[in-house]
Amino acid sequence: MLTLYIGNKNYSSWSLRPWLVLKHFNIPFTEELLPLNTPEGIAARLELSPTGKVPVLRDETLLVPESLAICEYLAEHFPDLPLWPDQPNARAHARAISAEMHSGFAALRTSMPMNVKARLPGAGLTEDVQKDINRIISIWVECRLKYNQDGPWLFGNFSIADAMYAPVVSRFLTYGVELPEIGRSYMKTVLSHPAMQAWMDMAAVEQWFIQSAEPYANCSFNQDER
Ligand SMILES: N[C@@H](CCC(=O)N[C@@H](CS)C(=O)NCC(=O)O)C(=O)O
């Protein structure tokens, strides 16, 4: 049996990624939430992994940290499930944009931290953030134009690449980021996925407030409905 250790659903963008993959492909797992800013959560995370971070996947005695490594482990462990696109060129492309997400977009991640239940239109939009947004839009547009005939996801069918970009969709919603029609349509696809909706519903009822993840809590654009 697999166990996925995750952080708070409202804030933990990295946890959302493998969680969505597990849910989408109906892979049985149990989840354990280790609250991000509590002493117990910090101790539990350090016990699990020297990174001290979530997500971490447990498979019997094996512990796999790092969201993308977890997704790769799942893809190897369930070779009959199409976690990556089947066609080699599409698969290479999906891996490249997933790696780009995992290692990049620092400005966006810093200035627009995932905060599922907040609505902060206009907050965090700097020049560097706009550059990250532009690159993400061009990734989405290229994928959607190329694989549109196979379905509404980045590579037609849902894959790990979509899970890697799902927290970006949540950020774009929270911060009211303006997108071209093709981007808005892809956002709708992601936001209407039942597992994404379930995650957002659970985030909406969480009571934790993490100051460091809420840089705009006292600003005028805070239209949070909590
Ligand atoms: N590169 C890691 C990043 C994991 C990460 O930063 N997780 C955050 C939660 S979203 C965390 O555990 N933060 C706790 C801390 O830094 O103490 C991954 O892809 O899983």
Mean pLDDT, range 19-38, rounded to an integer: 97
Is pLDDT above 50 for 16?
Answer: yes
Cα angle value 36/40/41 (rounded, 5°): 25
Nearest to 70 by CA among 53, 57, 51: 57
Cα of 131 vs centre of ligand 1, distance in Å, is 23
| Any ligand 1 atom below 6 A from CB of 36 | yes
The average confidence (pLDDT) of the chain is 96
Q: Which domains does the chain have, with CATH numbers?
A: 2-77 (3.40.30.10), 88-204 (1.20.1050.10)
Is the Cα torsion angle 217, 219, 224, 226 positive or negative in sign?
positive
| Any ligand 1 atom below 6 A from CB of 19 | no
**Closest-lying ligand 1 atom to the alpha carbon of residue 70:** 20
Q: Which amino acid is at 96?
A: A
Q: What is the pLDDT of residues 118-174, one digit of tens each?
A: 999 999 999 999 999 999 999 999 999 999 999 999 999 999 999 999 999 999 999
Question: Which residue shows structure tokens 């708070």?
Answer: 8
| Any ligand 1 atom below 6 A from CB of 52 | yes
User: Residue 222: what pLDDT?
Assistant: 57
The partner residues of 57 in beta bridges, in order of sequence, read 4, 64
